[in-house]
Amino acid sequence: MKALLSIGLTLFACVTLMLAAGLFYVMQELQRPIEMPTPIVYEIENGTTLGQLEHDLIQRELLPYPHLYKFAARVMGMNAPIMAGEYEISPGMTPLAILSLFQKGSNYQRFITLREGLTSYEIVQVLSEEDDLSGEITEIPAEGSLLPETYSYTKGENRNNVIARMQLALQQTLDQAWENRADDLPIKSKEEALVLASIIEKETAQPDERERVAGVFINRLRRGMKLQTDPTVIYALTMGEHENEGRGPLGRRLLRKDLKVDSPYNTYLYEGLPPTPIANAGAKAIQAALQPEDNKYIFFVADGTGGHSFAKTLDEHNRNVAKWRTIRNLNK
């Protein structure tokens, strides 16, 4: 009996030692950094089981052996479900860290940039052409109601969610700019501020000109002068459905006869601001509209370098226009 008991104890000790060694080995494998040259984006689809996940990771050499995750899930208490989504797996991560990542949810963000000055129609076009978004935008948002910016999104996110975030961002930006507006502006409401900001956005692409251009339009509004800005005429002709073939929003140059189109957006015919924004203005243009440069300029015209020449008198402006026409003719 003593001999049998001794043999039994020996076997038990051997089995325990083997289990301990196995456990130690498995723990080592779970915490061994994955060898990979660069980060990768890994997608888990809805309905993926732990077994399917393990099989795919082994095929991609991101997991050395099968059943390691099942072991971690059952023995180590890491039994939270894996979550569908996209994940960025970086060099040096361990299988255990990757499993933990899969249980927390997607950590990979995609980005889409909507540039300043796009109309709502154009923004909907950009979003509709992004294959990694889902859902259909059935209604064009109100002009000027979206804040152009770079937005993050997850694969499969609904396009209308992005629209909603753009609208919220615009409202927050406008509210803050309105609170910090300059005194005695001829701007009666936040809506009028957006209209002016959209004109500024379309008139100059130079960051250091925004406040100066804003000052010109503020001076004209104060004097009761027509704003006489070409982008409002273009909007009157297109209502925001611009051409996008590299030849400008009209697909051609604005003509003198266009300046006679009868529309409340035509600031060559009607005083004051147009009835709505003519594009979606960025945060800097909104700020410029409400904190314009205090200047005496009444006119401005392109200078041939991407910027503008500003003038306080009509004679000075006419000289600047003549220079611009010379430059334009030389570049034909």
Domain ranges of the chain: 33-108, 120-295
In the predicted model, is pLDDT for residue 2 greater than 60?
Answer: no
pLDDT at 114 over 50: yes
What pLDDT score does 83 carry?
A: 85
In this predicted model, which residue has the larger pLDDT, 243 or 23?
A: 243
108-117, 142-151, 300-309, range with the lowest pLDDT = 300-309
Which band of pLDDT confidence, cut at 50, 70 and 90, is reported for residue 124? Answer: very high
Stretch 103-112: mean pLDDT: 86
Q: If pLDDT is split at 50, 70 and 90, which confidence band does 287 have? A: very high
Res. 6 pLDDT band, cuts 50 70 90 = low
Separation of alpha carbons 88 and 325, rounded Å: 54
137: nearest Cα among 145, 126, 148: 126
Helix, strand, or coil (residue 104): helix
217 neighbors 272 (Cβ within 8 angstroms)? no
Per-residue pLDDT for 21 more than 50?
A: no
Distance CA 57, CA 154 (A): 22
Taking residues 248-273, report their average pLDDT: 92
Distance CA 5, CA 253 (A): 101
The mean pLDDT value of the chain amounts to 86
Least confident segment among 59-68, 194-203, 258-267, 303-312:
59-68
Which residues share a beta bridge with 87? 42
Phi, psi of 127 (to 5 degrees): -65, -35
User: Which residues make Cβ contacts (< 8 Å) with residue 284, sequence separation at least 6?
Assistant: 116, 207, 210
What's the whole-number mean pLDDT along residues 229-247? 87
Domain 33-108 class in CATH: alpha beta
More confident residue, 267 or 8: 267
The band of 13, judged by pLDDT with boundaries at 50, 70 and 90, is very low
